[in-house]
Structure 1
Amino acid sequence: MTARPLPATPTSAFLLPAGIPDRETVNGWTHWRQTRHAFVPAPALTLAEYRMLSPRDRQLHDLHRAATHANLPLQDTPMSTAVARLMRSRLRTNALKHRPTTRPGLMITGGGYQGKTETACEIAAAFEDAWLDLNQQLNPAAVPGSRDLHAPVAYVQTPVTAKPKSTCQAILDFFGADHRKMTLPQLTRAVRQSLHDHGTRVLLLDDITRLKMHRADDQDTLDLIRALMSTNTTLVLIGVNIPGSGLLREGCQDPGTGQWAFPAPARHHHDDPATQTERRFDLVQLDPFAYDTAAHIQAWVDHLTGLEQHLRLLHATPGMLTGGVMPEYLFRRTGGVVGLLERLIEQGCTEALDTGVEALTEALLDTVTISLGNDHGRDPAAGEVPAVPEKPPPRRRSRNTVFDDHGPAAATA
């Protein structure tokens, strides 16, 4: 039997890029936006087709499969679909406003590893694609004769120790603007000017709950953020547990102790009037999957079905992730958190490839530990790293007792 050549797929289609795009710069964001769907997954081969490959093509195919499992696509969930519907509507409506009024913003909250950032970035990137196409790639608000870079979307991470100056600097860094030796008023004017000159319609501020409302600097930063809402830019704030962070409540400082105090959050719409922040932002929650009703269980199984279609394991069978008690097992291991599920499946596939098992089973996944301690880009103190459900204890093989001697009492019974 002659070796069969691998289906034509350029090696560059699955090898790592020369540099990971840094979405916190305008060039990095643009590169990510233009290439975010460019990855080509490995072809789905049967075991017989795999065995017909030459040794070299097998190695390339194994590498391509590993890259496929490391780049699983972002799947829609019922929760992310609801977020996407509101965010798309808000971005489109605000972008079409002609009056110089404050644009209402959006807050996206939820637990860590819930896919808040990727969901928001994908929606913003799709908006930018459509906006650029609508305006022939040009800035409709550009000053005649100028050549300012057009950046309809800006993505900025809130500094870990956020202050008004550092927040302004982070926004200016996205555009590559010089901000050396600027005072706060100068920085504020530069930010507003940059957003206007670059035609920015959407400003994504990620990890916004790094702001701690008991700090005066953070209160000032929130005031700065609200002031930017009059710049014809829609603010989208992303963070963990925003309702519990104090961002939606106005704090007042005790002049004697210097401590900040907050009123109790309103539980019903009849209660105290909404605060200034609450009036300017809509809050939308990105929850994990639930597993307590038939509809919730079916939504989880549907998600696993979609995920299963992207796996490239040679001994995989239909229903590998959805049959028997596997859905319940996967939910117990991840708590329905999509980021933890992706981490478990990714590491499980790596183990399945390395050991030659070539399938995901409970026994194999029992050997996988989900570890989030090496994610230095997240702040555990801000709730950005979720608690990982405990791994089930190792299974113990039952002993064969057929030939056991149970003693004279058992023999005479």
Structure 2
Amino acid sequence: MNLTPLVFEHDRKTTLAGFREAIYADPPRPPSITFAEYRALNNHDRELFDQVREDFLRLKVRVETPEQKQCARILTRLIASNPRRKNSRRGLMISAPMFYGKTELALLLAQFVERKHAARNPDYMRTGEVPVVWVEMTEHSTGKALLAQIVEFLCPTITLNRSITTDRLKKMAVELLHTHQTKLLVIDEAHKLGGAEPSSIIKALQNESSATVLLVGINLLAGRAFGSGDGQQVTMRCDLVELRKVSLTHSDGMSQWLDWVIQFDRNLPLIEHTKGVLYKNAISLHKASGGQLAVLALIVERLVTSILDDAGRTGEQIDRVRLHAVLSSLKRFGPKGHRLKLEDLVDATVVKADLAVTSNEVDVA
């Protein structure tokens, strides 16, 4: 079996090399084998096969959301229109509480912009074009720290003097964004920006650079940086997309939730997985996750990991005991105090039996 696990050479996506490594990671779908064939592999090949499966689930299995489509449309419009403005350029804000998948969404949007640019300009890396810049803020980050990250992303070998002025850094950042034809500047963890000074820097960047600014963070409108004072000027220039829980009280919400669950169900990299077991537990998964996609993805990842970590397993079917254990371990991420019991969940064996009955009924008909 010829398997190649994913190997990242760069730890951070806040460097150009690390960022491109992240958005171009493309793990293959694991080959389909029986559990007997899996057990016949030697220890090294089994570990390799499990790594490939984990890579596939973590980096390749994605479900599209309405917010992703909305943000992609907005960015396409802004990236086309901002170069035709001389000041007060527009941006996009993605705001939500914790565990709503904000950074994951931002990465998908950055990938969308970068790959779209690559399709039109296949030699863009060789010619030094950097369509997307990604920076991440830490607690109480200043505007000067933001500018320094932009400069270091675009010029990795530079050594910045600690005494350099903010104005000089701003000029360097703007020139580099222009030189490298940057279309999108992603500022993740933007809620950690401290006060009015960073907001004025972002406003200056919007005035002096044609790059579209994407701000991503927790409840951005409630913070000091964007909820009051000078920060409101940045807010007024941005489209706002707020990520929300999926409610099952409306048919649209139910349809969306079931679609997400089905996508995970169909792509679980488990050997001889019974498709439909997650679907049968969709309502319980909603209760456990509170309707949050990021928590649903975490449940699925933990579920697969719990199976792969069980060295004594005799198969990889999802049973309700294992599912209940995973849901219980993640209570702190979902709604407080959900009271799912073992009997609320459905085994893969039950799903198999249902499928067999349905198949027999079809044959008779």
The TM-score range, normalised by the shorter chain, is 0.7 to 0.9
Match among 244, 257, 272 for residue 287 of structure 1: 244
Bigger CA radius of gyration: 1
Q: Does 2:199 match 1:222?
A: yes
Q: Secondary structure at the match of 2:133?
A: strand
Residue 184 of structure 1: aligned partner? 166
Q: Distance in 1 between matches of 2:112 and 2:50?
A: 32
Query: How do 1:6-155 and structure 2 match up within 5 A?
Result: 6=1, 10-12=2-4, 15-33=5-23, 35-36=24-25, 38-47=26-35, 50=38, 53-55=40-42, 60-94=48-82, 97-138=83-124, 149-155=128-134
Q: Secondary structure at the match of 1:322?
A: helix
Number of residues of Structure 1 aligned to a counterpart in Structure 2: 334
- Asked whether the 8 Å contact 1:72–1:310 carries over to 2, the reply is no
CA offsets 1:151-173 (integer angstroms, 9 cap, x no match): 12100012322112222222222
CA offsets 1:129-161 (integer angstroms, 9 cap, x no match): 22244345359xxxxxxx983212100012322
Deviation at 1:333, TM superposition (A): 1.1
Q: Distance in 2 between matches of 1:361 and 1:251?
A: 54
- Alignment-mate amino acid for residue 179 of structure 1: L
Q: Distance in 1 between matches of 2:331 and 2:134?
A: 24
Q: Which moved more, 1:232-241 or 1:22-31?
A: 22-31
Q: Structure 1's 170 and 331: CA in aligned 2 closer, same or farther, altered over 3 A?
A: same
- Alignment-mate amino acid for residue 104 of structure 1: R
Residue 363 of structure 2: aligned partner? none
Q: Distance in 2 between matches of 1:77 and 1:388?
A: 21
Q: Distance in 2 between matches of 1:318 and 1:73?
A: 15
Q: Secondary structure at the match of 1:40?
A: coil
Residue 229 of structure 2: aligned partner? 251
- Alignment-mate amino acid for residue 85 of structure 1: R
Q: Structure 1's 250 and 350: CA in aligned 2 closer, same or farther, altered over 3 A?
A: closer
Q: Distance in 2 between matches of 1:114 and 1:240?
A: 9
Q: Secondary structure at the match of 1:42?
A: coil
CA offsets 1:294-348 (integer angstroms, 9 cap, x no match): 321121111111111111323532311112xx11111111112122111111111
Tell me how large the CA RMSD over aligned residues is.
Answer: 3.0
Match among 252, 259, 273 for residue 302 of structure 1: 259
What TM-score, normalized to structure 2?
0.80
Q: Structure 1's 62 and 223: CA in aligned 2 closer, same or farther, altered over 3 A?
A: closer
Deviation at 1:246, TM superposition (A): 4.5
Deviation at 1:24, TM superposition (A): 0.6
What TM-score, normalized to structure 1?
0.72
- Unpaired runs of at least 5, structure 1: 1-5, 140-146, 213-217, 253-261, 263-274, 374-385, 397-413
Which structure features the higher share of helix residues?
2
Residue 196 of structure 1: aligned partner? 178
Q: Secondary structure at the match of 1:100?
A: coil
Q: Distance in 2 between matches of 1:346 and 1:132?
A: 31
Residue 338 of structure 1: aligned partner? 293
Q: Distance in 1 between matches of 2:189 and 2:37?
A: 46
Residue 378 of structure 1: aligned partner? none
Q: Does 2:212 match 1:234?
A: yes
Q: Structure 1's 350 and 119: CA in aligned 2 closer, same or farther, altered over 3 A?
A: same
Deviation at 1:208, TM superposition (A): 0.7
- Alignment-mate amino acid for residue 113 of structure 1: F
Q: Structure 1's 204 and 65: CA in aligned 2 closer, same or farther, altered over 3 A?
A: closer
Q: Structure 1's 390 and 71: CA in aligned 2 closer, same or farther, altered over 3 A?
A: farther
CA offsets 1:367-394 (integer angstroms, 9 cap, x no match): 1254699xxxxxxxxxxxx666446476
Q: Distance in 1 between matches of 2:269 and 2:38?
A: 11
Q: Distance in 2 between matches of 1:364 and 1:387?
A: 18
Deviation at 1:236, TM superposition (A): 0.7
Q: Distance in 2 between matches of 1:127 and 1:154?
A: 11
- Alignment-mate amino acid for residue 360 of structure 1: I
